[in-house]
Structure 1
Amino acid sequence: MSSPVRLSRTPAFWLAAAALLLLTFAAAAPSPLYVVYQAAWGFSSGMLTVVFAVYALFLLLALTTVGGLSDYLGRKPLLYGSLLLEASAMLLFAEAHGIGFLLAARAVQGFATGAATGALSAVLVDLQPEHNPRFGALVNGAASTLGLAVGAFGSGLLVQYAPAPRVLVFALLIAGFVAAAAALTLIPETAGRRPGALASLSPRARVPRTARRAFLSALPGLIAVWALGGLYLSLAPSLALGVLHLHNHLVGGLVITTLTATGTLGSVLLRGHPARRTNRLGSAALCLGVLGTLAALGLHSVALFFAMTALAGFGFGAAFLGALSSVAPLAAADERAELFAAVYVVSYLAFSVPAVVAGFTVPHLGLLHTAVGYGAVVACLAAASFVTTPTKRQSGETTRHMAGHEEPVREHATL
């Protein structure tokens, strides 16, 4: 019997990157459809943001439980199961005829994405070029935000111009996930089985003592970044329709694309810069971009709205990179997973909870006033991040630059 075909290291690496891109494409795909579902089924803005938040909470649950399971069972079994679970979530979306289907679809999608993200991120590090030990982290971050950008744009395009807007994008994604699961049979397994799988399912999130001061300093920036992401991915299409009076669904997708694409640009351009400088620059851009976006909403200026969203997006990517780079090197290798789990807990709670609060506030204050209040809080947090970021080199940064052999910092979690 002939041995199964296996791809060599380089094509296997890019196949894993393509699978991650597909995951994040799917994560953004429902956003341009939220206003369509809302118009069809008449649910409130509060329920719309609950549908959005369910995804984030189940993703967080998966990241903190099964996120590291591939270290014990192997990468490929977890990837097969996660990608097929993603396909089942897309089927729930395609068959949705009420709010219950949407809640179930987002829950399944969130858990599957969280489970697959840990395994795919590990594969990218396992298969990255041996001469470039940071390339896996770079591709992981770029694929995550690029997928969100392309997903929001592609979904908005299909919703606006293609037939069966509530079905077609998900039918294509079902085919994509099934094909991805089949294609991943060709990559080599990079982690063998070992004992401890059951114990690894116990959620662990802890900030080591050596990183606590830096973590507290980074908190305002982390919360500002992810709260802004939650606002855009849940309510941006509604803002485009209800405040800017843009009735083209492609525009709602383009708003999200602008934020995430410039976020990728910010993190890539500032890679390798000192964490304190990156964080302060990102926080300043985030604050100014959000305030400018609020001014654009008040003036009903579409051009200013997109320009300021781009500035806020640049700050989004830079501020998160700076915050993460300031705390990650302060943890020992055996403490790093728990530290990342703590960062994920803060990030995804900030991503989901404020958006839900905003959704339930809309019926009482209106969409514009809610967005202004939400944006003002984000701008204040970004300003606080700028102020609390140390102006002098921290010991963690020195460690980061000296320890070139250490594991690379992961710049992005998956939205």
Structure 2
Amino acid sequence: MAAYAFVVAMCGTTLPTPLYRMYQRELGFSSFLVTVIFAVYAVGVIVALLLLGQLSDSVGRRPVLLAGLVLSALSALSFLFERGLPELFAGRVLSGLSAGLFTGTATAAVVELAPRRWAGSATLIATAANMGGLGSGPLLAGLIAQYAPDPLHQVFIVDLALVAAAVVGVLLIPETVRDRSGTFTRPRRLHVPPSVRPAFVPAAMAGFAGFATLGLFTSVAPSFLSEVVGVSEPAVSGTVVFTVFAASTAGQLLMGRVGVRRALPWGCVILVAGMALIASALLTASLPLLVVGAVAAGVGQGLSFRAGVTDVGRHSPPERRAEITSALFVVLYVAISIPVVGVGIMAVTLGLRQSGLIFSGCVALLAATTAVLLWARPVRRDA
């Protein structure tokens, strides 16, 4: 039930991805403004993580998860009653706040609720729920936008129904935080203890490159497909974005066989190959090549993401696990927002194709550098 709630909350954050082109036609804004709308979401995530990342450690997991679902429902209502840009911005901010509450809290809750026999797979369940939810949003919205008569409204009605079921599920799960004050304490700065930093730093480095790629696909992928590749069907754009996250989940499954020490650098290497394929797809306007590049990039991101979260989680004190996980996600959501805004700024003067090529080169360089550093200083077995 906790994993289902995680999926639903993350699904709501990416639902607008295949709909941005429709909003562009309806409201007449540019691809740059699409990236700004997306970045506003990331700002909401980061604010929630910074101010409330440790909240569930003191008041409990369930109250924070319920608050995140309420914010997700308010976001869906903002899009449902959209009349212009103010509602779009409000919906994205609320969605970001919801995701910020959920990422660290739900990851910790799923790990803590897992039966002892599932202990080795608990982190996989949590990260797969995260990535699966993020990937399900564009697929669901793309299919509804393609075949439903009123896509800009019906998709959010479906989302509200999913959120309502998730609320019931969270109300039924047990609380896993035993020592809690039950009151809201003054937010404190997220802090990573020195004993956790040897695991945290490489996880953050590898995660930055992977999440920058996810940010590109969840913000301007429909614009790339329409303006560069010549494919404008929302079902296709939603499926392409879903492919990245499905591949990420596959990479997370593969990490169990590869191991943390090898998954972090090799995930970066595979991500480099994926970015090379994506750049080739932009040069040749090839949809199949773009899909293959999305799969490769997703697998690489999934490998390094699960390896990083696993290593950070196993070296974190239980009473501070949500706080440290939230600190990691702050880094990842900086990666998912700032580079994408850079793409939007470049697109105004250079065009989407050129900005996409520059972005691919920068991410590939960062991932390659991270792989070299990880091989020079491998992940420690013990903190």
TM-score > 0.5, shorter chain as reference: yes
Conservation of the 8 A alpha-carbon contact between 2:49 and 2:330 = no
Tell me if 1:206 matches 2:227. no
The question of 1:164 aligning with 2:150 is answered yes
State the secondary structure of the residue aligned to 2:70. helix
Q: Determine whether 1:96 maps to 2:78.
A: no
Secondary structure of the residue aligned to 1:246 is: coil
1:301-380 equivalences under 5 Å are 301-325=286-310, 329=314, 337-380=322-365
1:231 maps to which residue? 216
Answer with 309-318 or 56-65: which moved more: 56-65
Over the residues paired in the alignment, what is the CA RMSD in angstroms? Answer: 2.3
> CA contact under 8 A between 1:72 and 1:195: conserved in structure 2?
yes
Q: Distance in 1 between matches of 2:299 and 2:334?
A: 22
| Pair 1:276–1:222, CA change in 2 (3 A) | same
Deviations 1:227-261 (A, max 9, x none): 11111110111101110000211111112111110
- State whether structure 2 residue 67 is matched by structure 1 residue 85: no
CA distance in 1, matches of 2:67, 2:200: 34
State the 1:212 CA deviation. Answer: 4.5
Selected match of 1:256 from 241, 261, 275: 241
Cα 1:185/1:276, change in 2 over 3 Å: closer
More moved, 281-290 vs 106-115: 106-115
Query: Deviations along 1:312-371, whole A, 9 cap, x unmatched?
Result: 111111122334455555555566555434322221111101111211221111010000
Deviating more after overlay: 334-343 vs 32-41: 334-343
1:153-173 per-residue CA deviation (whole Å, 9 max, x = no partner) reads 111011111111110100111
Identity %: 34
Alpha-carbon contact 2:312-2:325 (below 8 Å) kept? no
Q: Quick check: 1:116 aligned with 2:102?
A: yes
What amino acid is the match of 1:102? L
Structure 1 residue ranges without an equivalent (≥5): 1-14, 400-415
2: CA distance, partners of 1:136 / 1:328: 11
> SS of the counterpart of 1:97?
coil
216 and 67 in structure 1: CA distance in 2 versus 1, 3 angstrom threshold:
closer
Q: Work out whether 1:245 is the aligned partner of 2:230.
A: yes
Q: Is the contact made by 2:53 and 2:100 (CA closer than 8 Å) also made in structure 1?
A: yes
Amino acid at match of 2:128: A
> Which amino acid letter does the alignment assign opposite residue 45 of structure 1?
S
Query: By how many angstroms is 1:99 displaced?
Result: 1.0
| Residue aligning to 1:27 | 13
**Deviation at residue 115 of structure 1 after TM alignment:** 1.9
CA deviation after TM superposition for structure 1 residue 266, in Å = 0.4
Are the equivalent residues in 1 in contact too, given 2:53–2:190 (CA < 8 A)? no
Task: Tell me, yes or no, if the aligned pair for 1:220 and 1:384 is still in contact at 8 Å.
Answer: no
Q: Which residue of 2 aligns with 1:57?
A: 43
In 1, Cα distance between equivalents of 2:105 and 2:259 = 29
Moved more, 128-137 or 261-270: 128-137
Query: What displacement does 1:392 show?
Result: 6.9
Query: Given the two structures, how large is their TM-score scaled by the length of structure 2?
Result: 0.92
Residue 298 (1) aligns with residue 286 (2): no
CA–CA distance in structure 2, aligned partners of residues 127 and 169 of structure 1: 31
Tell me the residue number matched to 2:159. Answer: 173
Q: Distance in 2 between matches of 1:337 and 1:112?
A: 15
Pick which of 275-284 and 309-318 moved more: 275-284
Inter-CA distance 117–347: structure 2 relative to 1 (3 Å threshold): closer
- Residue aligning to 2:206: 221
Q: Partner residue of 2:133?
A: 147
Confirm or deny: 8 A CA contact 1:31 1:253 kept in the other structure.
Answer: yes
* Counterpart for residue 397 of structure 1: 381
Query: In 1, distance between residues paired with 2:12 and 2:173?
Result: 22
| C-alpha contact (below 8 Å) 2:9/2:68 kept by paired residues | no
Question: Helix, strand or coil for the counterpart of 1:209?
Answer: coil
Distance 1:324 1:309, change over 3 A: same
Letter in 2 for 1:126: E
Aligned to 1:387: 372
Higher helix share: 2
| 3-state SS, counterpart of residue 134 of structure 1 | helix
Give the aligned partner of residue 129 of structure 1: 115
Q: Contact 1:276 / 1:390 at 8 angstroms: preserved in 2?
A: no
Confirm or deny: 8 A CA contact 1:205 1:339 kept in the other structure: yes
CA drift of 1:96 comes to: 0.8
Q: Is the 8 A contact 2:267 2:300 kept in 1?
A: yes
Query: In 2 relative to 1, CA 274–254 (structure 1 residues): closer, same or farther, beyond 3 Å?
Result: same
Distance (Å, rounded) in 2 between the aligned partners of 1:94 and 1:78: 24
TM-score normalised by structure 1 residue count: 0.85
> Which amino acid in structure 1 is aligned with residue 44 of structure 2?
F
Q: Which amino acid is 1:397 matched to?
A: R
Please give the secondary structure, in 1, of the residue aligned with 2:256: coil
CA contact (8 A) 1:204 1:338 kept: no
Structure number with greater Rg is 1
* Counterparts of 1:224 and 1:392, CA distance in 2: 18
CA distance 1:16–1:314, shift in 2 (3 Å): same
SS in 2 for 1:132: helix
